[in-house]
Structures are given as structure tokens and as C-alpha cells.
Amino acid sequence: MAFNFRLQRILELRAQHEQVKARELAAARERAETAARARDALAAVRDESHTQLHTATQRAPRVGHLHQLGTVLASLDERLVVASDVVKHADAGVQEARALLDSAARDRRVLDRLKERHAHAWRTDEAQKDRVQMDEVALAKYTRTQDTKDARDGEPAGRDSHRDGSPR
């Protein structure tokens, strides 16, 4: 007879739930990485524009050109702030997904430990049943051996002397 954990289906569902949460965490991490790359790209464009503005001020700049670069920098600064907010939101999503995964893993581990305890108790019980059965077999064999020995001891003396090798 094999061990049967009554809550096995629930354990399997919890494991599936944990896998779903792990995939959600991976997706949240990917979104956060994508947002961070977009923010970094904007920061690079802003830095390049800032360098162009600085270079333009060193030469004989035209007012229109300086104004245009200033507008571009202001727009990039705004977009960078928005991108930073998106990254913060994505990072918060990662933290939330990680917390949900941790919770799902904890729930599954609780059932895993319960299953192990039940399996250990079942194995102990089965071992005890096997010991009792083996003791019964040994006792029955011992009893048969004793009955046979007692039957031999109860035979007439002439037969006993013949068995031990002495003459009749």
C-alpha cells in the first residue's frame, strides 16, 4: 500500500499558484528593466543635448538655436521625470510580485512540511505493522517448533534412544 496524502491536490494547486507568481515576478522584472533602459536612453539623449547646448554657447550662438536647445532640454527633463516615475512604479510592481511569490512559496512549503510529517507517520506506522506481522510469524514458527519438540519428547523411550545414536 502506497502513501496517499489527502491534501495532495491542494499542494499541487499551491505549487501551480507559486509558478504563476514566479512568472508574474519575471514579467514585472522585465517591465522594470525595460522602463530603466528607456529612462537611461532618455538620460543619454538629455546629456547629449546638454553637451550640444554647452558647445553652442562656446561658439557664436544664435538666439533661436539656444532657445530651441533650451526647449529640447526642458522637454527631455520632463520626460526623464516621467520615465523615472515609471521606473519607480515598475520597481514597486517587482516588490509586490516578489512579496506575492514569497507568500505563495510559504503556503506551499507549509503543505510540503505537513505532507512530510504525514509520510513519516505513515512510514512509522507501516514499519510497526511489519514488525507486528514478523513477530506473529516468528511466534507461530516458535510455537510449531515447540509443539514438534514436545511431541518428540513425549514419544516412547525406545524411539528416543534410537534417535541419539545409541543401540536399541
Give 10-residue mean pLDDT values along the chain (168 residues).
Answer: 90 96 96 95 90 77 77 89 95 96 96 96 95 95 89 64 52
In a domain, 31, yes or no: yes
Joined grid coordinates for residue 125: 506506522
Which residues, other chains included, contact 163 with Cβ-Cβ below 8 Å and sequence gap of 6+?
Answer: 152
In a domain, 167, yes or no: no
Task: Quote the domain boundaries for residue 99.
Answer: 8-116
Q: Residue 44: which CATH number?
A: 1.10.287
Domain count, the chain: 1
Distance CA 6, CA 58 (A): 79
In a domain, 123, yes or no: no
Joined grid coordinates for residue 53: 547646448
Rounded to 5 degrees, φ, ψ at 7 are: -100, 20
In a domain, 45, yes or no: yes
Are the beta carbons of 139 and 132 closer than 8 angstroms? no
pLDDT of residue 1: 77
Are the beta carbons of 49 and 108 closer than 8 angstroms? no
pLDDT of residue 51: 86
In a domain, 132, yes or no: no
In a domain, 66, yes or no: yes
In a domain, 51, yes or no: yes
pLDDT of residue 54: 78
pLDDT of residue 132: 96
In a domain, 2, yes or no: no
CA distances in angstroms from 72 to 36, 49, 83, 85, 93, listed in the order given: 21, 8, 16, 20, 31
Distance CA 128, CA 151 (A): 34
